A and B are shown apart, each in its own frame.
Chain A
Amino acid sequence: MLELKNLHAEVEGEGIEILKGVNLKVNKGEIHAIMGPNGSGKSTLAKVIAGHPEYEVTGGDIIYKGESILEMDPDERAHAGVFLAFQYPVEVPGVTNTTLLRESYNTIAASRGREELDPLEFDDYIREKLDLVEMNPDFLERSVNTGFSGGEKKRNEIFQMAVLQPTLSLLDETDSGLDIDALRIVSEGINKLHGEEDAVVLITHYQRLLNYIVPDYVHVMLGGRIVKSGGKELAFELEEKGYDWLESLAKVNGEAK
Chain B
Amino acid sequence: MANLTKAEPSILHNLAKHAPEGNSVSWSEIRGKNLKALNQTAFPHKKIEEWRFTDLKPVERTAFVPLNEAGTLPAADIEKYFIPESDRSRLVFINGSFQENYSSIGGLGKGVTVGNLNGFTNNSTVAEYFDKLVNYEDDVFTQFNGLMFEDGAFIHLEKGAKAEAPIQILNLYTDSAKPFVATPRMLVVAEEKSDVTIIEDHIGLSQNTYLTVPVCEVKVKKGAHIHHVRIQRDSINALHISRPIAYVEKNSEYHSYTITLGAKLSRNEPRVVQEDEEVDFTLDGLVLIDGEQIADTHSVMDHRFSHANSHQLHKVVVNGSAHSIFNGKIFVRRDAQKIDSFQENRNLLLSIDGLVNTKPQLEIFADDVLCSHGATIGQLDPEEVFYLQSRGMTEEKAKEVLTYAFALETIENVKVDSVHKLLIEEVYRYTKANTESKVTA
Contacts and interface: CB of A to CB of B under 8 A. Distances in A.
Interface in B394-439: 394-395, 397-398, 401-402, 404-406, 408-409
Given A92-B402, A103-B393, A107-B392, A74 B386 contact: yes
B221 to A, nearest CB: 37
Chain B contact residues: helix, strand, loop or mixed = helix
Contact of B402 (A75, A79, A95, A103): A95
Nearest to A144: B387
Contacts of B405: 92-95, 143
Nearest to B398: A75
Nearest to A83: B390
B395 A52 contact: no
B392 A164 contact: yes
A78 B402 contact: no
Q: How large is the interface on B (under 10, 10 to 19, 20 to 34, 35 or more residues)?
A: 20 to 34
A108 to B, nearest CB: 5
B406 A94 contact: yes
A108 B381 CA distance: 23
Contact of A92 (B387, B395, B409): B387
A53 to B, nearest CB: 7
B391 A104 contact: yes
A73 interface: yes
Contact of A78 (B383, B389, B404, B409): B389
A122 interface: no
Given A73-B395, A94-B408, A103-B401, A84 B388 contact: no
Given A94-B405, A95-B402, A160 B391 contact: yes
A50 B387 contact: no
Interface in B119-165: none
Given A53-B382, A73-B395, A75-B394, A94 B409 contact: yes
B197 to A, nearest CB: 25
Interface string B35-74: 0000000000000000000000000000000000000000
Contacts of A101: 391
Interface in A204-252: none
Nearest to B391: A104
A101 B384 CA distance: 15
A74 B390 contact: yes
A177 interface: no
A52 B393 contact: no
B387 A75 contact: no
B390 to A, nearest CB: 5
Given A73-B395, A95-B402, A95-B405, A78 B390 contact: yes
Interface in A47-81: 50-54, 73-75, 77-79
B47 to A, nearest CB: 40
Contacts of A143: 405
A148 interface: no
Interface string A99-142: 11101100110010000000000000000000000000000000
A53 B381 CA distance: 13
Contact of B393 (A83, A86, A94, A107): A107
A86 B388 CA distance: 12
A224 B384 CA distance: 26
Contacts of B384: 90-92
A104 B408 contact: no
Contacts of B391: 78, 100-101, 103-104, 160, 164
Given A94-B404, A103-B391, 6 more contacts: A52-B386, A75-B389, A90-B386, A94-B402, A99-B401, A100-B391
29 contacts: A50-B390, A51-B389, A51-B390, A52-B386, A53-B386, A54-B382, A73-B394, A75-B390, A75-B393, A75-B394, A77-B390, A78-B389, A83-B390, A89-B387, A90-B381, A90-B387, A92-B388, A94-B404, A94-B406, A95-B401, A95-B405, A103-B391, A103-B401, A104-B391, A104-B393, A107-B393, A107-B397, A108-B392, A144-B387
